[in-house]
């Protein structure tokens, strides 16, 4: 019997298995470059770890351009099926919150530690007060406020025309209406620009935030009432 007919294929198979095994391992291992006496060993790290950034970018581009492009995402997010899934999820979460006896603050603590939560809340309160202060000092708000004050003064003056003094002032055109408007508007503007206003806003934001965080989840759902369906339609 010619054993060469058997041994040759076996040896070839073993060599092929070993080389393939080494080649596959070299694709993924090692994860980091290896050094011997300060000299980098060739083929370390493996091909895939070495090229992972380029591969990830290429895969991301391929998926974005061919599988999850803008058209696909828009169709998916606009589909009735997706809306139905979102509404079911929303209803389930609202139902869970309605039965939850924990406070809003306690629920938030489930996703982060207390120190980080308090730091986030402090920053959020500061930003909210700062935004409000800038808003009430914006030209748009000041113009609306001025218009409102002017209309209110006119309304009050008209209502007070039954008073003898107001009738006398109006008869002789003493300009009392415009003077009163200017005085009130000037004082309101001074108040809005005052540093104390920023402090007052900060205190108001802190008080309202504390009230919200101390609310039980079920109480919050109850207070929101009819607004929940409108939120769901967003």
The two structure tokens encoding residue 186: 């000037």
The two structure tokens encoding residue 50: 């070495």
Confirm whether pTM is higher than 0.85.
no
| One domain, residues 96 and 120 | no
CA–CA distance, 205 with 216 (Å, rounded to integer): 19
Q: Which domain holds residue 97?
A: 79-101+218-234
The two structure tokens encoding residue 215: 């609310």
Quote the strand ranges of 90-142, DSSP E.
none
Task: Report yes or no: 28 and 49 within 8 Å, Cβ to Cβ.
Answer: yes
pLDDT for the residue 178: 77
| One domain, residues 178 and 125 | yes
Task: Report yes or no: 48 and 55 within 8 Å, Cβ to Cβ.
Answer: yes
Q: Which of 218, 210, 215, 208 shows the shortest CA–CA distance to 103? A: 215
Handedness of CA 41, 46, 51, 53 (dihedral sign): negative
| One domain, residues 229 and 192 | no
Give me the tens of pLDDT residue by residue for the chain, a chain 234 residues long. Answer: 555 556 666 766 777 767 766 666 666 777 777 777 777 766 677 767 777 788 788 877 777 777 777 777 788 888 888 888 888 888 888 888 888 888 888 888 888 888 888 999 999 999 998 888 888 888 888 888 888 888 887 777 777 655 665 556 555 555 667 777 788 888 888 888 787 888 888 889 999 999 888 988 888 888 877 777 777 666
Residue whose pair of structure tokens reads 């030209």 in the numeric block: 139
| One domain, residues 69 and 130 | no
| One domain, residues 154 and 196 | yes
| One domain, residues 175 and 93 | no
* 3-state class (DSSP) for residue 216: strand
- Residue 103's DSSP bridge partners are 216
- Residue 36's DSSP bridge partners are 39
Taking residue 108's Cβ as centre, other Cβ atoms within 10 Å add up to: 16
Count of structural domains, the chain: 3
Q: Report the C-alpha dihedral over residues 145, 149, 152, 154, rounded to 10 degrees.
A: -130
CA–CA distance, 170 with 157 (Å, rounded to integer): 9
């Amino acid at each position: 019997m010619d054993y060469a007919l058997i041994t040759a294929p076996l040896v070839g198979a073993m060599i092929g298995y070993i080389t393939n095994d080494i080649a596959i391992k070299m694709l993924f291992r090692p994860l980091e470059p290896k050094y011997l006496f300060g000299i980098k060993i060739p083929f370390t790290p493996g091909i895939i770890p070495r090229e992972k950034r380029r591969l990830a970018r290429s895969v991301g581009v391929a998926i974005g351009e061919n599988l999850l492009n803008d058209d696909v995402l828009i169709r998916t997010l606009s589909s009735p099926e997706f809306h139905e899934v979102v509404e079911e999820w929303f209803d389930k979460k609202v139902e869970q919150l309605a039965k939850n006896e924990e406070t809003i603050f306690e629920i938030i603590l489930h996703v982060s530690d207390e120190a980080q939560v308090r730091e986030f809340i402090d920053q959020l309160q500061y930003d909210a007060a700062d935004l409000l202060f800038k808003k009430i000092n914006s030209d748009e708000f000041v113009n609306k406020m001025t218009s409102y004050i002017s209309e209110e003064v006119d309304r009050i003056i008209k209502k007070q025309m039954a008073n003898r003094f107001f009738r006398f002032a109006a008869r002789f055109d003493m300009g009392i209406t415009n003077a009163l408007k200017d005085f009130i508007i000037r004082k309101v503007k001074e108040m809005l620009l005052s540093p104390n206003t920023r402090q007052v806003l900060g205190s108001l934001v802190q008080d309202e935030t504390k009230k919200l965080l101390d609310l039980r989840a079920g109480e919050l759902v109850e207070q929101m009432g009819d607004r929940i369906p409108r939120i769901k339609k967003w």
